[in-house]
Amino acid sequence: MTSPDPALLSINTATVRAQWALPEIVAGLARHDIRGISPWRDQVARTGVKQAAQLIRDAGLAVSGLCRGGMFPAPDAQGRRAALDDNRRAVDEAATLGAHCLVLVVGGLPKDARGAIVSKDLAGAREMVRDGIGELLDYARSAGVPLAIEPLHPMYAGDRACVNTMAHANDLCDELAPNGKDGLGIAVDVYHVWWDPGLKVQIERAGAHDRLYAYHICDWLVPTADLLNDRGMMGDGVIDLRLIRGWMQAAGYRGMHEVEIFSSNNWWKRDGDEVLLTCRMRHEQAS
């Protein structure tokens, strides 16, 4: 396996969110000759969507994705409508930014307005997710924004996303967009799926239907100190990143390699330039 093309490196803005606002991130990427960005909506909102789009365009950056839409389940119809409205706004923002896709973190069990989970009906939540994506899909197609379902690690099934395997994401695509190339695909994040014994087969399945819309990299640390914010830099953990990249490439994926690291006790405490420099080096040497 040869080293990846450095031009394929993209940085998810969460990786340096503790250090920099969006304009500083864009400037930092230029300093390190990094060609891709994937912003979070809250960071975009603080800059303003149009201004952010202009900044990114002026810097010549590709937008490998917008994070994030989703969070479909809600205890009642009003809540689900509100979620759908917010998802339509996310689609509009992705269109303005020229994002390659809108990443969907689909949501877990239904929560009340204060964020407390109010139901243990996981199968029901999964139905709400299917229905929500189905409703959003027409709008996204009209806007020309591909939707990328991101299966999240099973440890987030309750509170963040009840789609936890590539197989489930592929099943949803089969059901809602059976023809492939019709605006619904998958964002493969190694952190969430590396453990899955069916990963290779499910990447092949997604590739055969042109559904591989994004590829996110980082590493799984042993031990992991926190369920949310202890992701590792490529090479510091136990994921065989070259193996998985090989599977992605063999399945036809030619898109960017987006580094997304939440790390409250390590990378978020370091200088932003050090983080980007390390991302560049580790992308080449360890992914």
Q: Is 114 in the site for a second copy (CB under 8 A)?
A: no
Cβ atoms of 31 and 61 within 8 Å: the answer is no
- Least Å distance, CB 217 to a second copy, is 14
Distance of CA 44 to CAs 39, 71, 157, Å?
A: 7, 19, 27
Closer CB to a second copy, 7 or 243, in the complex: 243
Closer CB to a second copy, 98 or 134, in the complex: 134
DSSP SS3 for 257: strand
- Least Å distance, CB 194 to a second copy, is 8
> Under rule CB under 8 A, how many of the chain's residues touch a second copy?
31
Dihedral angle over CA of 115, 118, 124, 126, nearest 10: 20
Which range in 71-79, 140-148, 164-172, 179-187 contacts a second copy by CB under 8 A? Answer: 164-172
Closer CB to a second copy, 91 or 152, in the complex: 152
Selected from 127, 159, 182, 273, the binder of a second copy by CB under 8 A is 159
> What token pair was written down for 77?
């119809």
Cβ atoms of 252 and 211 within 8 Å: the answer is no
Closer CB to a second copy, 13 or 165, in the complex: 165
Backbone angles phi, psi at 91, to 5 degrees: -60, -45
Selected from 15, 38, 47, 165, the binder of a second copy by CB under 8 A is 165
Provide the terminal-to-terminal Cα distance of the chain, rounded to the nearest Å. Answer: 10
192-231 mask for a second copy (x: CB under 8 A)? --xxxx----------------------x-xxx--x----
Closer CB to a second copy, 80 or 153, in the complex: 153
Cβ atoms of 102 and 140 within 8 Å: the answer is yes
How many Cβ atoms from other residues are within 10 Å of residue 80's Cβ? 18
51-90 mask for a second copy (x: CB under 8 A)? ----------------------------------------
DSSP SS3 for 173: helix
Closer CB to a second copy, 157 or 277, in the complex: 157
- Least Å distance, CB 20 to a second copy, is 27
Which among 181, 78, 70 has a CA at the least distance from the CA of 130? 70
Cβ atoms of 86 and 79 within 8 Å: the answer is no
Which range in 11-19, 63-71, 120-128, 177-185 contacts a second copy by CB under 8 A? Answer: 120-128
Cβ atoms of 203 and 166 within 8 Å: the answer is yes
Selected from 32, 141, 168, 280, the binder of a second copy by CB under 8 A is 168
> What token pair was written down for 64?
């490998």
- Least Å distance, CB 146 to a second copy, is 24
- Least Å distance, CB 71 to a second copy, is 15
Q: Is 117 in the site for a second copy (CB under 8 A)?
A: yes
Backbone angles phi, psi at 12, to 5 degrees: -75, 130
Element (H, E) at 80: helix 77-97
Binding site for a second copy (CB under 8 A): 109, 117, 120-123, 126, 153-155, 157-159, 162, 164-165, 168, 194-197, 220, 222-224, 227, 237-240, 243
